[in-house]
Structure 1
Amino acid sequence: MPHLTRTARGGSATGISVGFGVPGFAHPLVAPVEWHELTRHGTPLRWVVLNVANGPGERPDPHCLEAAGRLRNAGIRVLGHLDLGYGARGFGDLASDAHRYRDWYQVDGYSLDRCPTERAGLPEVRRTVTALRGLVDGAHIVLGHGRPPHPGYAEWGDQLVTFAGPWSDYRWSQAAEWTAEHPPERFCHFVHGMPRGHLEEALRIARRQGASTIYFTDRVDRGGGNDPWESLPGYWDDIVSRIGTGISE
C-alpha cells in the first residue's frame, strides 16, 4: 500500500519543520534522566505532557512541580493529561482534573487522551474544550485521537494526534484527505516500536503526511500497563541531531 503524499497549504511537504511533542514520561523519580534531558539546549521541543497519576493525582507532587517549573523556565509548554476514555468520562471529573492541573502545576494547556473520533462525540468534546479555554488563558489543546478523526474536530483542537501506534502500522499508514486543508503544525504523530535504522524513513512519512510534531521511540507496547512513551528512545541523541539540523528530503 503506498503512502499518501500530501502538500501542506502554502508550500511543499518537504519544507516542513519538525519538532517534538512528548506524550508523557514516567514520574520524575522513576525517569530523572528523561525529564532533565528535555531542557537540553537545542532540543526542538514544542510541549510535554505531565501525567502524574493518570491525571494530576490527589495532591501536589513536589517532584512534578520541580520538573514542570524547569520546563516553564526553559520556555517549554507543559500540558496536563486528561483521559476522556473515548467519551466515557463525565464532564465533572474532567473539569476537576483540569482545575487541579491549573492550580497546582500552572499548566499551559491540556492533552486530551483517548479522545473520541466519531462525529457523535463532537458536542461533548466541544463543551470540554470550551471550558478548558476558559480555565487557562491561551490554553494549548491537543486532541489525542490516535487516528484520523471526523474533520469537525479540527475546529476545536490546536493540534490533533492523527496517528499513535506501532511502527509496523505507521510505515503503511495514510493521511486522511481532509488534513491537506490544514497546515502541518496542526497534526502530531506518535510511533513506538520503531528500530533505529528507520529514522529517516519515519521522518519522511511524517513530512509527506503533513505532521510537524512527532515522537518516535524504539520502546515497545507490551500491554499490561506497559507504556512505551515513559522513557527515552535509545536513539534520542540521533533523532535530536537530525531534527535539529532541519533535514528534509
Structure 2
Amino acid sequence: MSLLIPLYVHPAVDPDAWHRLIEAADRTYAVVLNPADGPGGAPDPAFVSAAGALRGAGTRVLGYVDTDYGTRPAADVTADAARHQEWYATDGCFLDRVSAAGDALPAYRKLVRALRRQGASPVVLNPGVHPAPGYARIADLLVTFEGPWSTYVSAFSRPDWTTRCTPNRFCHLVYGVPEALTPLAVRTAHERGAAVSGPVTGKLPNPWARLTPVLSGAGR
C-alpha cells in the first residue's frame, strides 16, 4: 500500500496523530509537511522534530509549496522549497494549486527543473484534476483527483492518455470518506489507475487535519 499523507495539523495540537504516523511510516509514499501554508517565517521546533522522526522511520518528507495556479513567481516558489530543505531537511516538495492548463506547462516545466537543481526529489504536482497530458512527464507523482468522496464515487472520469502511464505516477486524494469505506477508497484508486492515494474522513475547510484511518488501522 502506498499512501500520500498531507497531515495539516500542528504536532502540539495532535501529537497522537503524528506518533501513529511515525509508527506506520513504512506504509507511506511520503508525508507532506505544511507548517504555515508553506515553510513559514522561521523554523518551527515541533515540525523540525516531527520531520526528523519521520526521516528516521524511513519515510520521505515533502515540503508544501503553493503555486497559486501558476500566478505565483517562480522565485518565491523555489525560495519556499529551499527554506523547507534548510529548516526541515525535506526530501522533495508538494506543489499545490497547480494549473491544469496546457499553456502553463512550459512555466511549470522550468519550475520543476529549478527545484530538481536544488535537490528536491520527489516533486509532486497537485492540480487536483486531470491536467494537460504533459504534466505527467514533468512530475514524479501527479494528483489527478482531490475532492469529496461523493464526487469521487459519482462523477469521476479518466481521460484516455492516463492509461498510457504507469499507475505509480498518479495519486487520488479523497476527503469526507466514511471511516469504514477508507480501505475501499484505496482499492478504488488502484482500479482507476492511481497506485498512490490518501483517503481521509475529514471535511472542508481542512480535511487533512486528520490522519487517514487506513494508516492508523482504524479503517481496516
TM-score band, normalised by shorter chain: over 0.9
Paired positions, count: 218
- Structure 2, gaps ≥5 residues long: none
Q: Relative contact order, CA 8 A, sep 6+: which one is greater?
A: 1
Q: Which runs of 4+ in 1 moved over 3 A?
A: 233-236
**AA aligned opposite 1:184:** P
Question: Would the alpha carbon gap of residues 65 and 151 (structure 1) be closer, same or farther in structure 2, given more than 3 Å must change?
Answer: same
Question: Would the alpha carbon gap of residues 194 and 179 (structure 1) be closer, same or farther in structure 2, given more than 3 Å must change?
Answer: same
Percent of aligned pairs sharing the same letter? 41
Distance 1:153 1:68 in 2: 28
- Structure 1, gaps ≥5 residues long: 1-17, 243-249
> 1:43 deviation in Å?
5.0
Equivalent position of 2:206 in the other structure = 227
Distance 2:90 2:64 in 1: 10
| Counterpart mapping for 1:131-210 below 5 A | 131-136=114-119, 139-172=121-154, 173-210=156-193
**AA aligned opposite 2:174:** V
Higher-helix-fraction structure:
2
> More deviation in 172-181 or 115-124?
172-181
Contact 1:22–1:49 (8 Å) recurs in 2 = yes
**Residue aligned with 2:171, SS:** strand
Q: What TM-score do the two structures reach when normalised by structure 2?
A: 0.93
Contact 2:69–2:99 (8 Å) recurs in 1 = yes
User: Is 2:10 aligned against 1:27?
Assistant: yes
User: Is 2:69 aligned against 1:86?
Assistant: yes
**AA aligned opposite 2:3:** F
The structure whose Rg is larger is: 1
**AA aligned opposite 2:208:** W
Q: What TM-score do the two structures reach when normalised by structure 1?
A: 0.83
**AA aligned opposite 2:137:** E
Cα deviation code 1:27-64 (max 9, x no counterpart): 11122111111121575111001101011011111111
